[in-house]
Structure 1
Amino acid sequence: MTLDEFVPMIGQILLADCNPSPAALELVSAKPLTNHGLTARPPFHLVFRSAPEVLLLPGVYAMRCGEWGPDAIYIEQMASLGFDAPGHYYQAVFN
C-alpha cells in the first residue's frame, strides 16, 4: 500500500469488516511522514472517522472501498485535534 492509493479516497467511506456488520469509516486525511530510513515505500499517515455511535477497538481490520481491497490495516483511536466533525477518530501509520 502507498500514499498514492489513498489520496484519491479522501472523503470516501471505507468498510471495516466487523461483527455483526461492517463499520463505515470516512478517510479524512492521508499525509506523508518524514522518511528517516532507507525504505522502499515512503512512510505515511491515515486518519479515519467513524460515526459517534461506532467505537472500534485497536486492531487489524480488513477494509474495502469500491473496487479497492480488502486489505488489512491496523488502526488505533486518536484524539480528534484539528478535526471538527463529530465521531471517533482513528489513525493508521505506515512506516
Structure 2
Amino acid sequence: MYNKGILKYIGAYAAYMNGVDVIVFTAGTLENSAVQRKLIVDNLGYLGIKLDENKNNFRGEERIISTDNSKVKVIVVPTNEELMIAKDTYRLVTSL
C-alpha cells in the first residue's frame, strides 16, 4: 500500500505537469532503503526513468541514482530533522 500510494501521487503529478524532470527521494524509508526506491522506480519506466543499481545501493550522501541516459533524474537527498529542529529552536530562543 505504501508504494502504491507513492506511485499514485507521482503518476498524478506527472500527468498534471505533463511529465517530470526530477524525482527526489528524501526522509525516512525512501532516503534509507535502496530496495524501496527500486520497487518504486521499477514501476515508473513509462516516464523514461532508468535506475542505476550501483548508485542506488548506498546510504548517507546526496546522489543522483538514475542512469546517465534516464529521461528523468532521480536523486536521493539525506535529511537531518534533528539538526533543523535544533537550529529552529536556537533561532526562536535567541530572538526572545
Structure with higher helix content: 2
TM-score, normalising length: structure 2 = 0.28
Larger Rg computed on CA atoms = 2
Q: TM-score, normalised by structure 1?
A: 0.28
More strand by share: 1
